[in-house]
Structure 1
């Protein structure tokens, strides 16, 4: 009996110590001195009105039919979420994260979202602007004294108006090939060093128009590192992922090459091999889940996300030199239609990854599609926006997709548009 009590005492002591250690670890990992999004209460972002949805049953039926027609018939792999406010209207996963049909994809398997990463990098940058650590009109020479393009500012990076050459292209033109190109993986610092050393010509004059360029966001990641005095992966953990409970999200690093979800060629399917550009981050390399990305979207709807004047800048169109539907804000693409309606989103592509992140401003609807077996059909998820807002071209696109259905299901589509 005495022996049993001793064992019980030892067990309880161990349990208490373990619990204390666990609480302490959780508390320590959530603490940060960096500006972050911890002030956003994810449980109280939306009002009851935000969650109200007419013809909900018909809409859910159409979302299900869309998934059957596009994802299942097309054998797409990855995850899809459509949510209004807090409520997930539709969610589904299929396919595998590893070769030989290993690790089925589910709601906790982080997938590469490619250029959707730019949206998250932009919001981290703006949080530092809000804290007074960065100014939008700061020239990059403030952070990198030898940077050879004096007119390039933080704002022109965010808005894709810097005119800088695309790193994936200009490095191939350097002759003879620099030593950096013999490395297994290039880094963001390598890209900066090559810009400084070889000073390739601007692709267009700075701030004269839009030019989508990964170099812009690779440099933003370096600025974040400089200002926060920590690595970009850790800065993102402290500023974005942990505060917003994005528990399965991370920035891809070399240590993740064995365990991270792979992307695949459509045929085979065969794994896309890593190449020397695969460790450059800021422009890509956020690995996340649809549910984690939904948390990010929910936070972005919150009045507490950023100071209102900064938040308003995100969805302003900055490339107005030529009339057209397509435009770019700060980390967001947008389509501005003739009726004045605006679709705000970002797509992504890298190797076998295709992704869509639509953040609909009026309806408070989020659409997230992440595919890891190459297919352009993943981008059709953006057309689902036409179900929720008056976006004529997207409405027509989703009608065409749903024309593959039977008459009963087509009537449900008509029901959606009858309001």
Structure 2
């Protein structure tokens, strides 16, 4: 069994991580909990589990705690779609209207409000790749920047529980304009939920079944799914919100969470719950070129295709983004097929490697995969919004300062 030292990490420097999390985040009440797993070449080098599963009951955080991972669902759904691409059942340059004919009439917003929108024709068709890289012209209601995202909020498009199912969700989008012609800009959006609809449509079975059969069961991700099973409830974390004046307030108690029941909308963009250990297996599969412990999910060439910058013109997010919000640092960062890609890592002002790919979730969870140093890391907590702290950036710094034998 490998040790941290044999994997190129300094045990003494790794100790800084726990001390930092305690002093900077947990003791001052800035985070309810923190869990970090770090692996190199697929072997676990470091793990820590701190804080409380539930602050009100003072329940210690178990190592197998179950978390809402929100947008960390996106890479999983994207991998499922790419497995169908490998089978020749869908292609990245296919027009989306081939699978959603009702979208033939979509136009770009010109003026007006909900119920009275005026649009102009698309200058280019929306392709499947636009959905994967968030250049489709869709948006999120929480952006609160345009009349289009106001319509998303009014229709409650992103509500997973008690609202639309995937078919109804896609039908509702057919009645709304796009923010821009596909390929012209980057905007963080419900695009990956539409990817989930494509997966479900092409595979001919519900999205949850596709993810279970193609990803979760082969990778032995036993705690990942669209709701919290009965046996998982004692391990399910409560979710908190940062208060304006400091401190935390309960945002969603674990014992009264809608995640305790199956959702109406199988959200490929934000619907999964998981554990750090499960998600690390997913990351290690991608690090190894699509295979883990004999389970082949994707080919190495497909993973390589996913983890390069696909933004038009090779630009980064500072040049192309119209988004109020994203789970990445924009400078030197592009977007691949399901996650951010650092192609000029020095511009992020973080220690990392060219080609590193990563993303995060609304409750401040995050992961990264460094194919140069062969490092994978998963960070879990439950604090909304993710912009409340810079803990995920801090974890990058703390992990890499402990890597004293690069490329060992």
Tell me the residue number matched to 1:101: 57
Tell me the residue number matched to 1:234: 209
State the Cα distance separating 1:142 from its structure 2 match: 1.5
**Does 2:121 align with 1:156?**
no
Tell me the residue number matched to 1:334: 341
State the Cα distance separating 1:232 from its structure 2 match: 1.2
TM-score when normalising by structure 1 = 0.70
Question: Is the contact made by 1:327 and 1:334 (CA closer than 8 Å) also made in structure 2?
Answer: yes
Structure 1 unpaired stretches of 5+: 1-42, 390-394, 396-412
Structure 1 residues 136-175: aligned runs within 5 Å:
136-148=92-104, 149=106, 151-166=125-140, 170=148, 172-173=150-151
Question: Is the contact made by 2:287 and 2:376 (CA closer than 8 Å) also made in structure 1?
Answer: no
Distance 1:84 1:333, change over 3 A: same
1:177-217 alpha-carbon deviations (Å, 9 max, x no partner): 66989994333323211122x2x22211111232221x211
Question: Is the contact made by 1:355 and 1:378 (CA closer than 8 Å) also made in structure 2?
Answer: no
1:18-55 alpha-carbon deviations (Å, 9 max, x no partner): xxxxxxxxxxxxxxxxxxxxxxxxx9xxxx99994335
State the Cα distance separating 1:279 from its structure 2 match: 4.2
* Aligned Cα root-mean-square deviation (Å): 3.9
Question: Is the contact made by 1:348 and 1:354 (CA closer than 8 Å) also made in structure 2?
Answer: yes
Structure 1 residues 301-316: aligned runs within 5 Å:
301-305=287-291, 306-316=298-308
Question: Is the contact made by 1:110 and 1:287 (CA closer than 8 Å) also made in structure 2?
Answer: yes
Match of 1:281 among 259, 267, 276: 267
State the Cα distance separating 1:385 from its structure 2 match: 3.4
State the Cα distance separating 1:332 from its structure 2 match: 1.2
Secondary structure of the residue aligned to 1:354 is coil
Structure 1 residues 234-313: aligned runs within 5 Å:
234-252=209-227, 261-266=237-242, 267=247, 269-272=249-252, 279=265, 281-305=267-291, 306-313=298-305
Structure 2 unpaired stretches of 5+: 107-123, 292-297, 320-330, 347-352
Match of 1:92 among 39, 48, 57: 48
State the Cα distance separating 1:347 from its structure 2 match: 1.6
1:208-262 alpha-carbon deviations (Å, 9 max, x no partner): 232221x211111111111222211121111111110111111238999988544
Equivalent residues, number: 343
Greater percentage in helix: 1
State the Cα distance separating 1:381 from its structure 2 match: 3.2
- 1: CA distance between counterparts of 2:165 and 2:149? 13
- 1: CA distance between counterparts of 2:403 and 2:220? 38
Distance 1:216 1:416, change over 3 A: same
TM-score when normalising by structure 2 = 0.71
- 1: CA distance between counterparts of 2:67 and 2:12? 30
Question: Is the contact made by 2:139 and 2:187 (CA closer than 8 Å) also made in structure 1?
Answer: no
Match of 1:212 among 163, 184, 188: 188
Tell me the residue number matched to 2:21: 67
**Does 2:197 align with 1:187?**
no
